[in-house]
A and B are shown apart, each in its own frame.
Chain A
Amino acid sequence: GAVVSQHPSWVICKSGTSVKIECRSLDFQATTMFWYRQFPKQSLMLMATSNEGSKATYEQGVEKDKFLINHASLTLSTLTVTSAHPEDSSFYICSAPTRTGGFLDEQFFGPGTRLTVL
């Protein structure tokens, strides 16, 4: 199946700094990618939809100025956590769908990025 990668797989940063997480579709193009946040022992919460060539669509309650999303190309989306604080510590997961004729075939998920803010 298709492969989605994330980089880095884990990152530790100081409070107040910004962290960038990359999500790449390695063998297919994705005009849309999704960013999720997963707390320990909990579900994945959709944060935003990343759209190539246009602004991201954020879910209710997600601060767009804090979680900056840029869909730079058909294979790359980045999530930047700005001015990170300990409460931003979490597991961030991206996904990208393959499509046929504009309709969704399957979502492929990255392995996730563990962010720890000290």
Chain B
Amino acid sequence: GDSVTQMEGPVTLSEEAFLTINCTYTATGYPSLFWYVQYPGEGLQLLLKATKADDKGSNKGFEATYRKETTSFHLEKGSVQVSDSAVYFCALSEDNQGGKLIFGQGTELSVKP
């Protein structure tokens, strides 16, 4: 079945450091790919998405490119802030009508001032 694998956390960075969180997937079809963020005490929020190969999703300085050849969707940000501290989830959906999401295990990011 479909699955998503993320790098394990927690990841601890200093403010203004470069961030990469790796995400790879397995899928039978051509899924849409997502990054969600969960801030402490809050619900998941969509951070960015890409619906086809070579698409780049971007939002709030974060970006990720849908790489079909490597089945990857790595999240990057050039300069993290303390306010970026959260848990980040990579996810895929095979079904753009149903909306069922398969999540990776989540990566906790802690940014120190």
Contact = CB atoms under 8 A, between A and B. Distances in A.
A binds B: yes
Interface of A: 4, 32, 34, 36, 41-46, 49, 93, 95, 97, 102-104, 106-107, 109-112
A46 B98 CA distance: 13
B46 to A, nearest CB: 6
Nearest to B44: A109
A112 B42 CA distance: 8
Interface residues of B, number: 22
B contact face: mostly helix, strand, loop, or mixed: loop
Given A93-B44, A95-B44, 13 more contacts: A32-B99, A34-B99, A41-B106, A43-B105, A43-B106, A44-B89, A49-B98, A49-B100, A103-B96, A104-B95, A104-B98, A109-B43, A111-B42
Contacts of B93: 104
Contacts of B104: 43
14 contacts: A34-B100, A41-B106, A42-B106, A43-B103, A44-B44, A44-B103, A95-B44, A95-B101, A104-B93, A109-B43, A109-B44, A110-B43, A111-B41, A112-B43
